[in-house]
Structure 1
C-alpha cells in the first residue's frame, strides 16, 4: 500500500518519485510480481514521508507501467485500475500493507450519455472559471478516454474539488450516483471558490 496526499482514480496516471527506503523495498517487491500492482489510499491525517499517518479505507489499485532511475530517487508511472476497500490494516513490514476486497465495477449504460455530457460541461466550465483566479492541476480542455466508463472516472478525477470530496466520488456505487456526486461537488466548489 502507498498512502498519498492525493486520490488516484481508475483510468488516471500516477507519476511518483520514490525515495524512502520502505517504499523502495515495496517497489522492488511489486516489480518482482507479474502484476506489478500496489494499492493507493488517501492520507486522512499525517504526512507522506515518515509513516504514522492515518489513512482512508477506500483506494485504487495502481499498476506500474513505467519505471526508471532518476537523481536520488526512482521515477515511476502507474495507472489507476480497480477500486478496493481495506478490510484490515496489517503491521508495516517495512511498508504499509493491508487486506482488501475489490469493489464492484460500475456498469455503464448509454442511458447516461446525455447526463454525462451535461456534467462534463459543468466541470469544464467551472474549471475554466476557477482557473481565472487560481492555478489548476488540470486544464479545462484536457481530453478524456473514448471508453465511457474510463472517461467518467477521468471526469471525476479532473473535477475542481478537494481530496475529501474525491474520496466520496471514489466510493460511488453506480454511474448515476457518481454523476450526481460530481455535479454536486463541482457546484459546491464553484460557490466556495468563485467571487459572486
Structure 2
C-alpha cells in the first residue's frame, strides 16, 4: 500500500488508454509540480467522480482507479500545463485521504485475475465484432468518427479487453463496471451485457 496523488474526473481512464489533460486549477498544478519533482516516472492516480463536480472539491469518488503516467508535459502561460498521460495499471483505493493540497489516496495495485483463461481469444474476437458493430451505428448517428470503427486492438487478450472497453460507445458508469471486472473473461462478459442495451438504443435512435 502507498499514498498516491489523485486526479478525480468525470470519466474513466483504463490501463493502456491515453488521457490528455489541461491542468489549470491551482491544486492540480501543484500536483504536476510535485509529480515531476519525485524520483522515478511522474505518475498519479485517476478515479471516477461518482457524484459532484470536478472543480472545487466536495465530490464523491470511486474506489477503483488507474495509474496515469505523464508521457508529455508542456508548460503553458499562467502556470498551466498541457499533459498527455497513459494508463499503466489498475489500482484499488483503500482510503481517500484529506485533500492537502490536492486529492491523495492510500492505494494498492490490483492486477487482473486469470489473464490466460481458456477461450479468451474467441471471446475477444466476438466482443471486437460487437464493438465494431456498435461503433458503426454510433458513427452513422455522428456520435463518433468513422475512423474509430476500424481501430486496431492488441493481440494480447488481457490488453485487448481493456482496448475494447475503451473503444465501446458507452458512458462512464458502464466503463467503470468494465474497469472493476475481476479479469479479462469477466470484463468481456460484462461488455457483452452492456452492448445489448447500447445496440438497442442506437438502433432506436436510427429509426
State how far apart, in whole Å, the 1-side matches of 2:112 and 2:77 are: 38
TM-score (structure 1 length as normaliser) = 0.93
1:125 counterpart = 2:127? no
Task: Describe the superposition over 1:91-118 as per-residue Cα deviations: whole angstroms up to 9, x where unpaired.
Answer: 0011000101211234134631111101
TM-score (structure 2 length as normaliser) = 0.88
Look up the match of 1:46.
52
Is the 2:124–2:157 contact (alpha carbons within 8 Å) kept by the matching residues of 1? no
From 110, 113, 116, the counterpart of 2:124 = 116
**Structure 1: tracts of 5 or more residues without a match:** none
Task: Describe the superposition over 1:159-195 as per-residue Cα deviations: whole angstroms up to 9, x where unpaired.
Answer: 1111111111001112211110111111211112322
Is the 2:23–2:29 contact (alpha carbons within 8 Å) kept by the matching residues of 1? yes
State how far apart, in whole Å, the 2-side matches of 1:103 and 1:130 are: 32
State how far apart, in whole Å, the 2-side matches of 1:46 and 1:134 are: 29
Task: Describe the superposition over 1:41-88 as per-residue Cα deviations: whole angstroms up to 9, x where unpaired.
Answer: 011111112111111111001111110123553101111011111111
Aligned residues: 196
State how far apart, in whole Å, the 2-side matches of 1:142 and 1:100 are: 32
1:192 counterpart = 2:198? no
From 102, 105, 110, the counterpart of 1:103 = 110
Which segment is superposed worse, 18-27 or 180-189?
180-189
Look up the match of 1:171.
180
Is the 1:130–1:194 contact (alpha carbons within 8 Å) kept by the matching residues of 2? no
**Structure 2: tracts of 5 or more residues without a match:** 1-5
* Superposition misfits of 4+ residues, deviation over 6 angstroms: none
State how far apart, in whole Å, the 2-side matches of 1:176 and 1:147 are: 13
Look up the match of 1:180.
189
Is the 1:14–1:79 contact (alpha carbons within 8 Å) kept by the matching residues of 2? yes
